[in-house]
Each structure stands twice: as C-alpha cells, then as structure tokens.
C-alpha cells in the first residue's frame, strides 16, 4: 500500500517542508493552522493512506461522492464540507460533517439550523466570502457579510466559527490580504455569538501566501493527490 501511493508521501513531504519554511519566515507557530486534504475524486483507499500519514482533516466538495465513500473512510479523520451546498442536500450531511465551510446565504443557514436542532446538535460553520466578486463562484459579497453573520448569530443550531474564501487565482496575494483585513475587522467588532477562530483560505497554488495572511486552514488537493479528472 505504501509503495502504491508513495507519490502522496513525497508530495506531503514537500508540502510540509514548504509550510515549515513559510511559518518560520513569517513568524507563525506551525501549530496555529491545519492542513486539509481535499478529497474530490480521490479514491477512499488513497484518502485513508493520507490519513495514516497524519492528515486528520478532510475536505469534501460533493454530497453524493462523500456518501459513496463515507463508510470506507478512516474514522479517525475529521470531515468538513467545503463545496457549494444546495438546501435539499443538507439532510444527507448534517450528521457526519463536523463543519460546513460554504454557508453563503440565509436560506441555506436556516435549513442547516433546522436540521441541526432536529438532530440535537450545533453545527459549526464558516461563512464563505466571494472576496473577488467573481460571478463563477459562490460566496456572500464582502459588504453583505456582516448582515448575514448577524442573522445567523440568532440561530440556536449553528455556531459561526469564522470565514472561508477562494480568491481569484490571478493576484491572489491581493485578495488574500483583503480577506485577512475583512476577517480581522469582523473579529474586532465582536458580533454576539459569532466567533472568528478559523480563516480557511489557501489551496495548492497559493497556500504559502495564505499562511502569511493568517489562514488557519489551508486546503490542498492537487498538490497532495496530483491532477485529477473532475468530470
């Protein structure tokens, strides 16, 4: 098994070296952020190999794909949902997910809240921000974020733990900086029942920059598992 998936070992070694170097340069404690393995289209046995290497945080993009792999996954791993989520799919993931990172509208939040209460749990969420204003991406506009956070803060079945974003690939450094400013601004105002503990940003192409801007969760798929077919 180890030989079969040795490319994952090699990729993870490079990522960890880059993370350590970046953290040292910007004066961050390496324990102040986590590495998430993004598992879109990755076979569960490969994911489990990554978990055995110490990657205990997984990110799932698609509900149906997760459901097909859920029972095979190593149960020691924590799983977050990071993809676009339709309200009619919330019921399938409300129990197994420990966090939903892609909440960007009040309709979705209400459904998560309703089902969380029905399951006698409080669901941790991140609000997804469309920091680049891209039509092709989900996320609440930065100038509408505070309103959404205030509305969600009144819900008993949800706990806002922070923010998530996918910045434009070009000039991502600029948008990562803007996201950090927005995160710190929200954090400083201390909205009741809203915590700013997590800032999820940074992927294969920009995770080192994201660390510099204070990301607490970096989400890496291609850099860890290689290029995959997303069709």
Tens-place pLDDT, residues 215-228: 999 999 999 999 87
Mean pLDDT of 167-181: 93
Angle formed by the axes of helices 145-152 and 106-118, nearest 10°: 20
- Three-state DSSP class for 198? strand
Q: What is the CATH class of 6-225? A: alpha beta
Backbone φ and ψ for 71, nearest 5 degrees, come out as -70, -20
pTM surpassing 0.85? yes
pLDDT in tens, 153-168: 999 999 999 999 999 9
**What's the pLDDT score for residue 231?**
52
User: Cα(57)–Cα(77) distance, rounded to whole angstroms?
Assistant: 6
State the pLDDT confidence band at 230, using cuts at 50, 70 and 90.
Answer: low
**What's the pLDDT score for residue 171?**
86
Torsion of CA 52, 61, 98, 33, to 10 degrees: 60
Tokens of 153: 């803060």
Mean pLDDT of 160-180: 95
On average, the pLDDT of the chain sits at 95
Are the beta carbons of 223 and 206 closer than 8 angstroms? no
Mean pLDDT of 85-98: 98
User: Cα(17)–Cα(208) distance, rounded to whole angstroms?
Assistant: 11
Kind plus residue range of the DSSP H or E element containing 128: strand 123-129
* Other CB atoms within 10 Å distance of the CB of residue 10: 10
| CA angle at 222 for the pair 180 and 71, rounded to the nearest 5° | 100
Mean pLDDT of 85-102: 98
**What's the pLDDT score for residue 229?**
64
pLDDT above 70 (res 47)? yes
Domain boundaries, the chain: 6-225
Question: Residues 6 or more apart from 132 whose CB is under 8 A from it?
Answer: 167, 168, 175
pLDDT in tens, 122-165: 999 999 999 999 999 999 999 999 999 999 999 999 999 999 99
pLDDT above 80 (res 181)? yes
Beta pairing partners, 162: 126, 198
Question: Residues 6 or more apart from 47 whose CB is under 8 A from it?
Answer: 37, 39, 58, 69, 73, 74, 77
**What's the pLDDT score for residue 54?**
97
- CA–chain centroid gap for 133, Å, is 19
Q: Which of 95, 94, 58 is nearest to 76 (CA)?
A: 58
* Other CB atoms within 10 Å distance of the CB of residue 29: 7
Are the beta carbons of 97 and 91 closer than 8 angstroms? no
């Amino acid at each position: 098994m180890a030989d079969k998936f040795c490319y994952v070992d090699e990729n993870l070694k490079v990522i960890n070296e880059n993370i350590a170097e970046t953290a040292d340069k910007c004066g961050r404690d390496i324990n102040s952020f986590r590495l998430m393995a993004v598992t879109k289209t990755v076979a569960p046995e490969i994911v489990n190999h990554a978990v055995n290497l110490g990657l205990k945080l997984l990110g799932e993009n698609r509900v149906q794909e997760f459901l097909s792999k859920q029972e095979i996954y190593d149960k020691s791993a924590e799983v977050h949902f990071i993809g676009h989520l339709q309200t009619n799919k919330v019921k399938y993931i409300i129990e197994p997910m420990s966090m939903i990172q892609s909440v960007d509208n009040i309709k979705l939040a209400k459904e998560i809240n309703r089902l969380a209460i029905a399951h006698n749990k409080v669901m941790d969420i991140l609000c997804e921000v469309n920091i680049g204003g891209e039509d092709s991406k989900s996320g609440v506009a930065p100038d509408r974020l505070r309103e959404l956070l205030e509305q969600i803060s009144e819900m008993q079945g949800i706990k806002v733990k922070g923010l998530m974003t996918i910045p434009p690939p070009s000039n991502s450094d600029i948008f990562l900086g803007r996201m950090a400013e927005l995160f710190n601004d929200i954090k400083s105002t201390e909205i009741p029942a809203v915590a700013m503990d997590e800032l999820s940003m940074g992927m294969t192409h920009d995770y080192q920059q994201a660390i510099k801007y204070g990301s607490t969760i970096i989400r890496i798929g291609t850099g860890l598992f290689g290029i995959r077919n997303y069709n």
